[in-house]
Structure 1
Amino acid sequence: MKRKIICLMAVIGMLAIGCNDVDDGNHVDPITIYEKIGGEWNLMNLKMVDEVAKANAIEPNEENLSGLFNYENFKIKLNVDANHQPTTYEVLGNVPPLFALNGYWQLSSAFAQPNAQAVRILLYSDAQKTQQTDELRLTSVPGTKREMEIQLVRTSGGTPFITYIFKLGQN
């Protein structure tokens, strides 16, 4: 009787193991940054860095803007289509504009750069993406933690003078 039970258990075990799918080698597209950053993002922190003061070791050279000018209500929505391709963006909340409040967007690269340079979020006023209005640096890409960091750098004659650092989170 014990032998029949053992044989029956072995057969059931073999059937269970035999039901596992075998990797058939089908191609799976890599995950793009578009898939990671598409959606609505809430402001966690906004910091303004005075690059001139910082370069000259003048303190203070940073200011937290998170609780000022209604920025606690800041949200940005990066819309993508069903194929995870960028469409439009929109800044939500009654905040002073640091860049155009709506338009179209795309990334400078769909994947992280091997040289560790920040991928750029290119902002456009037109759907054909011929009239660029601004550029944001994506300095931290969301992973298991649904957080990212983007920077808006203002320059004069090619020299940065102020940087806005947005830390964003997604629910």
Structure 2
Amino acid sequence: MRTIRGYLFAIGLLFSTAMAFTGCSTVDDGSFTAPITLSEKIGGKWVVNSVLQTDEANARTKTLTDLLDFDTFVINLNQDEAGNPSTFTVEGSAPLLLPTSGTWKMDYNFTKSDNTPSRLLLNDGKAETALTVTAVPGNTKTLEYRLTRKTNGQPFVSYTYNLTQAVK
């Protein structure tokens, strides 16, 4: 009789424990949220902090910010209602190193696993200009990209734009 009671007690205890672990869960796992893309971080209106010119042959740099009206440079990277890249415009009276309007996109919309920099692609309908993104906005609202000019496939000069997101 005691062994039957022991078995029944063990089965009851096992059943109670199983019910405790499979009972109603009060944890709300939430719903799926899409990951934040580089386009979302980069989109917006950006004003210049500094522009550096680098002679790629000997790595000499020169600050161009206060020269040739680079301090008036503004780029608007517009997005559609879904947050996808759409059009861009460049404002100011700085020398035209970039196209002044067109469409933009990222070559890859997430941080690359091989640690290569992402490229911001500006298309004015005639040609595509690739800018190497060297700093992505995060805790600070700073965007930095580099435009490299080449001749016969060899870089000879680059321009590094350091930008701050304009206050809306």
TM-score (structure 2 length as normaliser) = 0.80
* Matching of residue 168 in structure 1 with residue 163 in structure 2: yes
Aligned residue in 2 for 1:74: 73
CA distance in 1 between counterparts of 2:135 and 2:28 reads: 33
Of 29, 39, 55, the residue aligned with 2:34 is 29
SS at match of 2:67: coil
* Matching of residue 50 in structure 1 with residue 55 in structure 2: yes
CA contact (8 A) 1:120 1:136 kept: yes
**Bigger Rg, which one:** 2
CA contact (8 A) 1:154 1:161 kept: yes
Of 40, 45, 69, the residue aligned with 1:40 is 45
Aligned residue in 2 for 1:108: 107
Amino acid in the other structure paired with 1:49:
T
Instruction: Please show how residues 145-164 of structure 1 align to structure 2 within 5 Å.
Output: 145-164=140-159
Aligned residue in 1 for 2:15: none
CA distance in 2 between counterparts of 1:133 and 1:99 reads: 10
5+ long unaligned stretches in structure 2: 1-25
Aligned residue in 1 for 2:13: none
SS at match of 1:35: helix
CA contact (8 A) 1:122 1:132 kept: no
Aligned residue in 2 for 1:139: 134
Paired-residue identity, %: 34
SS at match of 1:165: strand
Amino acid in the other structure paired with 1:33:
L
CA distance in 2 between counterparts of 1:22 and 1:79 reads: 39
CA distance in 2 between counterparts of 1:98 and 1:44 reads: 17
RMSD of aligned Cα (Å): 1.4
Following superposition, the deviation at residue 23 of structure 1 comes to 2.7
TM-score (structure 1 length as normaliser) = 0.78
SS at match of 1:53: coil
Aligned residue in 2 for 1:14: none
Q: Deviations over 1:48-86 (max 9, x none)?
A: 0000122xxxxxx11000000111111100001111111
Aligned residue in 2 for 1:121: 120
Following superposition, which runs of at least 4 residues in structure 1 exceed 4 angstroms of deviation? none
CA distance in 2 between counterparts of 1:71 and 1:25 reads: 47
Amino acid in the other structure paired with 1:106:
K
Following superposition, the deviation at residue 25 of structure 1 comes to 4.1
Aligned residue in 1 for 2:85: 86
